[in-house]
Structure formats: C-alpha cells, structure tokens
C-alpha cells in the first residue's frame, strides 16, 4: 500500500508503506502504547508480499534468476500469493507447491493470480487440514524435484537472506519514519516487534 498520489506502474510498487495506527483503547488503563502495522493492506493481504518482492529482486540483481526462468517455492499460502503477484508482473512462471492439508481457498487464489499450484498428498495418518512436519517434508521433496526438473530458481523463503532484508530495508525504516516524530521525541525505551501479529509495543 504505497501512500502516494501518483499512479503506480504495477502492484509491486504498492507493496509496503502500510499505515501504522495506535490502538489507544487497548492501552487506556496501562502504561504503554500498542501500535499496529496494517500489513493486510499489501496487495496480497500480508507482510509476505515484502519478502516475495525482495527475493525476486535480489535474485535478479545477482543474476541467479534469468529472464523467463521458472520460480518455485513451497508455501502454505501467503508467501505463494506474494510470489504469484510479483512473478506474474515480472514475467516469471511461478509454481507454488503446497500440502493438500493447507487451505484450498489459498490454492485457488494463487491459481487465479497465474500460479501453477502443485498439491502434495498428506500421509495416510495425517489429519485433514492439519499439516504435520512429515507432511511438510513431502512438500519439500516435491519442491526439490520440480526445481531440478525445470531448472528453476528456488525462492527459498526459509534460507535466503532476502527474507531478513525485506524487513531490514523496508519494514524497519518505515516504522522508524512513522513513529519518530511522536514517540522517539518522548524518549522511547522499547520497541517490541511481534511479527506474527504485526504489532509494536512502545512503553512511554
């Protein structure tokens, strides 16, 4: 969600610059402030859009990703959605590999965004809708097979430094920029980042 009055050339430029809002009613009777970074306003509805963009752009810069090369990654939905958006715009075929135990709605969303979605069977003893570690290992194995067979670029969200860099280069500076006028001037003592909830706890 790029906060700009200018026309953006694509949805990629709309990633990031999400609003930071104070949840003042929650902290009415406590000594502290809670700020929420509204990452659901990214094009793919999550902070994972940031890492998708960073992974692809870093791979382009290092020449690891060639024009038109297939991109492959395992996903439960959010990272795959971000990659589907970024790869679709940049012209890279994208293959999302996910367990059948994950949400089929997310699989349909990625498919609608142009991704090829490969669904991997769960183990017979696995509960439907509950992806186990062993189920994830099957997804990992299938991902590696596809990468080898298609000579694809692996957008490895768990191992590539781009995952960290996405937040070091964009999310972090955004937060500092957004809070510095009101909070840093009041002698900020602590910023606690809760990534899964996109919350920031800022005691006075």
pLDDT tens digits, residue range 143-177?
A: 999 999 999 999 999 999 999 999 999 999 999 89
87 contacts 75 by C-beta, under 8 angstroms: no
Report pLDDT digits (tens) over 44-69. 999 999 999 999 999 999 999 999 99
Residue in 37, 48, 145, 181 annotated catalytic: 48
Give residue 193's Cα distance to chain centre.
16
* Alpha carbons 34 and 36: distance in angstroms, whole number: 7
Write down the domain spans for the chain.
Answer: 11-44+162-201, 48-154
Q: What is the pTM of this model?
A: 0.87
Tokens at residue 130, please?
């509950």
Helix (H, G, I), strand (E, B) or coil at 190: coil
> How far is CA 21 from each of CA 35, 45, 85, rounded to the nearest angstrom?
5, 17, 26
- How many angstroms separate the first and last alpha carbons of the chain? 29
Considering the domain 48-154, what is its CATH architecture? 3-Layer(aba) Sandwich (3.40)
pLDDT of residue 180: 81
Is 48 one of the catalytic residues? Answer: yes
pLDDT at 107 over 70: yes
CA Rg, the chain, in Å? 19
């Amino acid at each position: 969600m790029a906060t700009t009055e200018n026309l953006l050339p694509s949805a990629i430029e709309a990633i990031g610059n999400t609003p930071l809002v104070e949840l003042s009613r929650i902290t009415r009777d406590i000594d502290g402030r809670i700020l929420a970074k509204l990452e659901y306003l990214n094009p793919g509805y999550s902070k994972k859009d940031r890492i998708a963009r960073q992974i692809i752009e870093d791979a382009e810069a290092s020449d690891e990703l060639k024009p038109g090369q297939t991109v492959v990654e395992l996903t439960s939905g959010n990272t795959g959605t971000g990659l589907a958006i970024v790869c679709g715009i940049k012209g890279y075929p994208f293959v999302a590999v996910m367990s059948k135990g994950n949400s089929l709605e997310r699989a349909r969303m990625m498919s609608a965004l142009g991704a090829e979605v490969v669904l991997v069977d769960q183990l017979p003893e696995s509960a439907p809708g509950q992806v186990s570690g062993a189920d994830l290992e099957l997804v990992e194995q299938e991902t590696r097979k596809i990468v080898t067979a298609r000579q694809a670029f692996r957008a490895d969200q768990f191992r590539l430094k781009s995952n960290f860099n996405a937040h070091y280069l964009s999310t972090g500076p955004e937060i500092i920029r957004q809070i510095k006028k009101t909070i840093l001037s009041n002698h900020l003592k602590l910023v606690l980042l809760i990534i899964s909830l996109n919350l920031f706890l800022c005691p006075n």
